[in-house]
């Protein structure tokens, strides 16, 4: 009599690693999800008037608020005609360049005044409209990790099978 030990787990591991490597090769889809999440976070920052993640944007002067109101513009900070918020948060918006590849997300807002709001000027305080928290960064890392190990989680496997066979 002899024993034959067959490890189904090895087959599982090999198949799962192959699936995982294919997912890593097509990591652009994962980064697309990260880009969407980033733009949602930016939108929440606009909606909270800079309070998301702590702090807030400097208020507008009363004179400027009145001028915006009289001209029919949105009186919220950085919402004047909605061009900036749209370019930063809506895929394919005018004045936006969004490039996503297997390892990066590049979001560019092509509005002359966007940088001035981020950094401020001698006459205008900075109102950074992109601000990510450590929690955001951990969330994106988890999104990436979850996508990479998803194939392994989908598979069911058993450990050892032992067969006794008569000689």
Contacts of 85 (CB under 8 A, 6+ apart): 43, 46, 78, 79, 129
Contact 40, 113 (CB under 8 A): no
Report residue 12 as tokens: 């599982």
Total count of domains within the chain: 1
* Residue range(s) defining the domain that contains residue 147: 2-165
Report residue 35 as tokens: 């880009």
Give the pLDDT means over successive 10-residue stretches in the chain (167 positions).
48 61 71 95 97 93 96 96 97 96 92 96 95 93 81 55 52
Report residue 26 as tokens: 């097509």
Distances (CA, A) of 64 to 71, 115, 117: 10, 20, 15
Contact 45, 133 (CB under 8 A): no
Q: What is the DSSP string of 28-80?
A: HHHHHHHHHHHHHHHHHHHHTTT-TTS--PPPPPHHHHHHHHHTT---STT-S
Q: Looking at residue 27, what is its pLDDT? A: 82
- pTM for the complete prediction? 0.77
The rounded distance, in Å, linking the Cα atoms of 75 and 62 is: 10
Q: Which candidate, 77, 83, 102, places its Cα nearest to that of 23?
A: 102
The rounded distance, in Å, linking the Cα atoms of 101 and 58 is: 35
Q: Looking at residue 5, what is its pLDDT? A: 47
Q: Looking at residue 166, what is its pLDDT? A: 55
């Amino acid at each position: 009599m002899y024993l034959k030990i067959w490890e189904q787990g090895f087959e599982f591991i090999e198949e799962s690693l192959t699936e995982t490597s294919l997912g890593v090769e097509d990591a652009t889809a994962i980064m697309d999800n990260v880009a969407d999440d980033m733009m949602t976070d930016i939108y929440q920052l606009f909606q909270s008037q800079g309070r998301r993640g702590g702090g807030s944007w400097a208020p507008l002067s009363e004179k400027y608020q009145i001028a915006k109101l009289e001209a029919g513009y949105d009186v919220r900070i950085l919402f004047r005609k909605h061009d900036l918020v749209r370019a930063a948060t809506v895929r394919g918006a005018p004045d936006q360049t969004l490039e996503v590849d297997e390892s990066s997300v590049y979001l560019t807002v092509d509005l002359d005044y966007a940088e001035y709001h981020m950094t401020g000027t001698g006459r205008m305080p900075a109102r950074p409209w992109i601000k990510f928290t450590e929690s955001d960064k951990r969330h994106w890392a988890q999104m990436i990790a979850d996508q990479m190990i998803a194939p392994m989680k989908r598979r069911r496997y058993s450990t050892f099978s032992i067969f006794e066979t008569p000689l």
